[in-house]
Amino acid sequence: MTDRHTNANGYLTATVRSDGAELCSLQDATGQEMLWQAGPQWPRHAPVLFPIVGELRDDRLEVAGHAYRMTRHGFARARRFAWGARSATACRLVLHDDGQTRAIYPFGFRFALDYALSDDSLEVTYTIANTGTVVLPASAGAHPAFRWPLTDDLDKASHRLEFEQPEPAPIRRLDVNGLLKPDPVASPVTGNILNLDPALFDADAIVMDRLVSRSVRYAAPGAPTIEVSWEGFRDLGIWSKPQSEHADFLCVEPWYGTASPADFNGDFRSKPGLMLIPPGEKRVLIYRIRFC
């Protein structure tokens, strides 16, 4: 049985499992579930992405002439984390490099996730430490999937994302291999509003790699509003399944890094968008989910 821990503070209840350090339930004070509950269209809730975000060409991670196989979004979501601490309103999970990780990713690291409740917010902190002797190249991302529609009586097309700032910059799209297409396309965001429609995701994820905002609100008339904010993350993915698959979730995903550009085929350490963490140093990335 999967090992789980539940945090509660009277406003929110959050359940995290040790497999993948994944948030698998987030409920408000009334018991209303706001996360997608891993239905057949997509069997996850909020996977943790590390040490890559998205795809590499041919799942190939090359370092100093040696090739390793690294599949979509990296290995963290498939590993069991160790519990570092647990309390009524917080928990910490930790993953270290070991023989299994070094066989596909030849670097030393310590990756800790802290989940902490504070009033109407859940704060999730990623701490990535370089425990090795060479620079640690890595990406990391969050992938929470929220209910869409937010309540059963709403139409999906009544929902929107409200960004903190106008977002006029072009977006990126993915090719059939999950790699970034070379040419940006016009943003579907008008001012600071993205009106949501399932047809948006027939071309896969919306990748925002020129992001101005540091928060976005997911809202619909008469429904609770969910705000996602972030620190340290630079990019944002917005994703659901194509409309033909009728998947009732929307992912709002703070990232540091994206899939490989379709024309990139070099040493992983020169891949665009990576964190390059010197030996003995660390990077801290934070995102928050708040019910408004």
Per-residue confidence band for 41, with pLDDT thresholds at 50, 70 and 90: very high
For the purposes of burial, counting CB atoms within 10 Å of the CB of 63, is it exposed (0-12), middle (13-18) or buried (19 or more)?
A: middle
* DSSP structural state of residue 76: G
**How far is the C-alpha of 162 from the C-alpha of 165, rounded, in Å?**
9
pLDDT at 251 over 80: yes
Q: Could you tell me if 108 and 132 are in contact, meaning their C-beta atoms sit under 8 angstroms apart? A: yes
pLDDT at 38 over 60: yes
Taking the complete model, does pTM exceed 0.85, yes or no? yes
Out of 3.40.1640.10, 2.70.98.10, 3.20.20.70, 3.40.30.10, which CATH number does the structure's domain 4-291 have? 2.70.98.10
Q: Where are the domains of the chain?
A: 4-291
DSSP string, 245-259: G---EEEEEEEES-S
* DSSP structural state of residue 138: E
Q: What is the pLDDT of residues 3-33, one digit of tens each?
A: 999 999 999 999 999 999 999 999 999 999 9
